[in-house]
Structure 1
């Protein structure tokens, strides 16, 4: 009888303390670059050079013509590597490209580029059990000689990777958030696209939240209300918001100015199909927080961060606890992370093996 040989132990990058790994830049071995010129993307290549060389008139510099994505690769217990839902990132990047008039990247090229980068940097994937992952950052930027407000003559599609630990220190530990008076995006602007300008606009209110202390409460980031009426929750820092109602429904905000989080839609599916909950996307009014027993922020970087409390003006509202994740949040986290690391059966199409 033929037996399958076990996967060889992976080559691990030296001099990285996996136990204390945070969310910061670490240079890895190779990254992918593809250029668009004369109406088409080239085949792309891997390079050791981590510095982009672009024209001084590039639209990415002057007019913000760019977008990016974030996804992760995970080391499984058997030594194999999972990439989580890259087709969804590819689809979202196409939507972002359309919004700012850039040529789209096909699913095939996007997933091929991601796969090449993961394979080329496998030694930087944190070992199973450390809680770390390999964060992948695809991006598209407008480049080439230009000065007028117009779409670029050329573009670069790139993918690089960085080994990361938790976005918020402490793992599944509740964080507090401060309602901001600033808007994250305009009512009919680029809020639904993953473009850098949205994040640049969030830097000042996010820092102000971190610098604020009210009645002994510290805050991890700003919470943004809808830009049209300032009555409904939209996003939490750079993450999507979710909550659990007192009658056991899983709800998330719905708005044309919210970035559609792949993590959020994964949680909606898991809440409905694995936890047998009623789920809905709709309005989450800031003055009706008493109707929710749990709340959280979710996204690729943060995965799930339980929300302990929200400061809205003079009112501080606590959900389940300021020190412990609620039971639904914990179950969803365990289910999602279990899928990502290969310990829980994944829905069809959610995992790409590298």
Structure 2
């Protein structure tokens, strides 16, 4: 059972300059797993976790997380975008690293509570910003052996965010990495922190060379594109008729990507393909992009691979299909365009 949050004064933020960085908001949600079940959870003002020094999350990476957004619509209401899909993906991640699953009902209820409690932190309609939610599950409790934790925490906190990459919907350039993001048959399809820790060095090296981030090739052969930094990859064929995205068991199943697959087929009338995207055949595509909850869509201007730099539509202008996909998706998220059934949950 949740109760409406008490109205609070407006937040003194310049919504137009929001980036993607931590901002402490008022309340967050915590639930404990003990004795074989999750408790009912509660909101707290404390943004510091108090956990055992032996927690498996600290030593063995037993943890996972999610990312989703709450959007202010023109009528003042608030939309959560496909939270049931985030709940399902977190359940898959929990199973992969042997943690208890959080039910879809508890997951969505926790997100709703956090959004209501931090309603005044939601960027106003028309600013392009949103309230980013970060649910997570971590293994805690006194432990030292390599085993599943005796206790767990499920939490959700929220921060107001703008564009993930500076400049918003503008093309960025990327460079392929010789590092692997995840191992074959490993944890690549789970949203666990170890995958992201592995990406820090290649991401840093890419930025040192003035690229937005690294592109990871398939770990088995290093011939096919898998992911773009912390986002999924897509491309549009030269004839503008087909939406293509990589398929691999080590790719994180992006909710944004699968939403775009649906919209490309059912709203734009494109053919959609999940398959191999070979790094030496980029000339087959006229547009490309990175997609995910944080970035939404980031157009890819060009990709550096070895000594070759391939430019797609433009290094400065957004391609027409990418623009249409972005407008359709964000229009749905903010409530300006009709949503497929079940995609929006009102807070």
Q: What's the TM-score, normalizing by structure 1? A: 0.95
Residue 13 of structure 1, CA deviation: 3.4
1: CA distance, partners of 2:113 / 2:200? 32
Partner of 2:3: none
1:237 aligns with 2:234: no
Supply the distance in 2 between the matched residues of 1:267 and 1:34 (Cα, whole angstroms): 33
Superposed displacement of residue 14, structure 1: 2.6
- In structure 2, the partner of 1:287 is 280
CA distance in 2, matches of 1:129, 1:335: 15
Distance 2:61 2:218 in 1: 23
1:327 alignment partner in structure 2: 320
1:44 & 1:20 partners in 2: Cα distance?
Answer: 34
Is 2:264 aligned against 1:277?
no
In the TM superposition, what is the alpha-carbon distance from 1:15 to its structure 2 partner? 2.0
Residue of structure 2 aligned with 1:114, choices 93, 104, 111: 111
1:150-189 Cα deviation digits (max 9, x unpaired): 0000000000000001001111100000000000000111
For residue 205 of structure 1, the aligned residue among 202, 205, 209 is 202
Q: Check whether the contact 1:60–1:141 (CA below 8 A) recurs between aligned residues.
A: yes
2:160 maps to: 163
Determine the structure 2 residue equivalent to 1:4. Answer: none
Work out whether residues 90 and 110 of structure 1, in 8 Å CA contact, stay in contact via their aligned partners in 2: yes
Distance 1:76 1:12, change over 3 A: farther
Q: Partners of 2:165 and 2:187 in 1: how far apart?
A: 26
1:250 to 240, 243, 246: 243
Residue 11 of structure 1 and its aligned partner are, at CA, apart by 5.3
Output one character per residue of 1:306-334: Cα deviation in whole Å (capped at 9) or x when no partner.
00000000000000000011000000000
Answering whether residue 63 of structure 2 is matched by residue 70 of structure 1, we say: no
Q: CA RMSD in A?
A: 0.8
Q: How much does 1:97 deviate?
A: 0.1
For residues 70-126 of structure 1, give each alpha carbon's deviation from its aligned partner in whole angstroms, at most 9, with x where no partner exists: 000000111000000000000000000000000001110000000000000000000
Q: Does 1:225 align with 2:217?
A: yes
Partner of 1:48: 45
Partner of 1:105: 102
Gaps of at least 5 residues in structure 1 are 1-9, 213-217
CA distance in 1, matches of 2:178, 2:230: 16
Q: Is the 8 A contact 1:12 1:124 kept in 2?
A: no
Matched ranges for 1:42-191 at <5 A: 42-191=39-188
Q: Counterpart of 1:169 in 2: which secondary structure?
A: coil
Q: For residues 285 and 121 of structure 2, what CA distance do their matches in structure 1 show?
A: 40
Structure 2-normalised TM-score? Answer: 0.97
Structure 2's unaligned 5+ residue stretches are: 1-6
Give the whole-Å Cα distance in 2 for the aligned partners of 1:27 and 1:177: 31
Q: Of 302, 305, 313, which aligns to 2:298?
A: 305
Q: Is the 8 A contact 1:12 1:125 kept in 2?
A: no
> Residue 32 of structure 2 corresponds to which residue in structure 1?
35
SS at 1:159 equivalent: strand
DSSP-derived class of the 1:83 partner: strand
Q: Count matched residues.
A: 340
Aligned partners of 1:63, 1:30: CA distance in 2, in Å? 29
Q: CA deviation at 1:287?
A: 0.3
